[in-house]
Structure 1
Amino acid sequence: MIYGYARVSTREQKLDRQIDSLNKYVKTENIFCDKVSGKSTDRINYQKLKEIAVAGDEIYIHALDRLSRSKRDIATEFNYFKEKGVILRIMNMPTTMIKLDGQEWVIEMINNIILEVLSSVAEQERLTMLERQREGIESARKRGVKFGRPDVKDKVDEVIKMVNNGSKVTEACQKIGIGKRTYYNYVRG
């Protein structure tokens, strides 16, 4: 059986580009997709794919960093599939796309070298992204930007006053602009 795997980091991102690329080799119904970070391999559809893939199956992945952003995880996953007899075809690693009979050891050796380099790059990209994010947050805080949930104490107090004056909770919350759950969580406190 031939499968595909696509991943983006957030729900807002689109999988279209990867799916279009995978469709050259894989039927759409055999493509497993996740919209979650690559920092862990604990992803619902990826784990389903791992469960159903058996020896002789092939899994196409658009790019190595779609598998993981961790060098250790990439090596672990490659070894897992190798031991299971499942062939990984990483489309941005052309040597994984070659099909040879009798010379697999050469391709495996080349793939191991390329895998080492590309997994290091993928991990470094993640570390760089996290560093940029940390610097951006730090810079924003210096400029007075607040992070986290907004303080709703004043709004809840307004709702309490309105309720004490005869308004219904739902109406008061809508008028002040907070959710009923926020109101009740604060009141139960």
Structure 2
Amino acid sequence: MKARYIRISTPDQKLERQLAKKHKDEKLFIDVCSGSVPFNERPKGKELISLTGLTYVSVHSIDRLGRNLLDILTTLAHFDDNGIILKVDNLGIESLTPDKGKLKPNQAFKMIVTVMGQVAQMERETLLERQREGIEIAKAKGKYKGRVRGSKESKEEILSKYPNVVKRLREGQSLRNTAKLCDVSKGTVLKVKNFL
């Protein structure tokens, strides 16, 4: 079975760009979520990796799998371990290549995807930095209010705001790993841990 995985961040985003190279025999898996959500925690991502008989997955670009290098590499390892070929359309390469009747890892693919995954992660970090800078400028102009000073989020609000952090901590992940996997600060992870 062949599949095409598509991820958009918001429901109003268009799919055309990611569907441009779709083949008629590909089954579509479309997630609407942030790239910071780990692949195996997305509804269609979970469904895709649990399929039996899956042999081929296409994505438009590597950042559709995620914007965290560790998560991207974990997803790739799952595909490789299960003999599933991943094709990245905008790079025009596949993760596994035939060699004497067997599939073997494409080393050039691994190198390129690692670099592109790092770029995707850096783009997200740059976006967050710009957001912080914009908030600081808005605060200086008196246009940004934020949370009312002295108010506190309840235990329920914090736990519902960071479900991925809760899940990782309950799995026994360290503070540092949880922060990396969920793309949040270590302070946020510690705050959540204090409520568990």
Q: Which residue of 2 aligns with 1:44?
A: 43
Rg bigger for which structure? 1
Q: Which residue of 2 aligns with 1:168?
A: none
Q: Which residue of 1 aligns with 2:19?
A: 19
Structure 1 distance, partners of 2:43, 2:145, is 30
Unaligned runs of 5+ in 1: 151-189
Structure 1 distance, partners of 2:126, 2:103, is 35
Q: Which residue of 2 aligns with 1:92?
A: 90
Larger fraction in strand: 2
Structure 2 distance, partners of 1:111, 1:136, is 37
Q: C-alpha offsets along residues 135-189 of structure 1, whole Å, 9 cap, x if unaligned?
A: 1112112111234589xxxxxxxxxxxxxxxxxxxxxxxxxxxxxxxxxxxxxxx
2:133 to 132, 135, 141: 135
Q: C-alpha offsets along residues 77-136 of structure 1, whole Å, 9 cap, x if unaligned?
A: 00011112211111122221885443954x611111112211111111111111111111
1:1-189 matched pairs, under 5 angstroms: 1-21=1-21, 23=22, 25-27=23-25, 30-40=27-37, 41=39, 42-54=41-53, 57-96=55-94, 100-102=98-100, 105=104, 108-147=106-145
Structure 2 distance, partners of 1:2, 1:17, is 19
The residue identity in structure 2 corresponding to 1:121 is: V
Structure 1 distance, partners of 2:74, 2:32, is 21
Q: Which residue of 2 aligns with 1:166?
A: none
Q: Which residue of 1 aligns with 2:184?
A: none
Structure 2 distance, partners of 1:63, 1:83, is 21
8 Å CA contact 1:11–1:35 kept in 2: the answer is: yes
| 4+ long deviations beyond 6 Å | none
Q: Percent identity?
A: 34
8 Å CA contact 1:9–1:37 kept in 2: the answer is: yes
Change (3 A) 1:43 1:70: same
**Normalised TM-score (structure 1):** 0.68
Change (3 A) 1:147 1:60: farther
Secondary structure of the 2:3 match is strand
RMSD, aligned CA = 2.5
Change (3 A) 1:129 1:140: same
8 Å CA contact 2:69–2:117 kept in 1: the answer is: yes
Cα deviation for residue 37 of structure 1 reads 0.3
Unaligned runs of 5+ in 2: 149-196
Structure 2 distance, partners of 1:64, 1:80, is 15
8 Å CA contact 1:8–1:37 kept in 2: the answer is: yes
Structure 1 distance, partners of 2:95, 2:137, is 44
Change (3 A) 1:36 1:101: same
Structure 1 distance, partners of 2:17, 2:110, is 27
Cα deviation for residue 39 of structure 1 reads 0.5
Larger fraction in helix: 1
The residue identity in structure 2 corresponding to 1:31 is: L
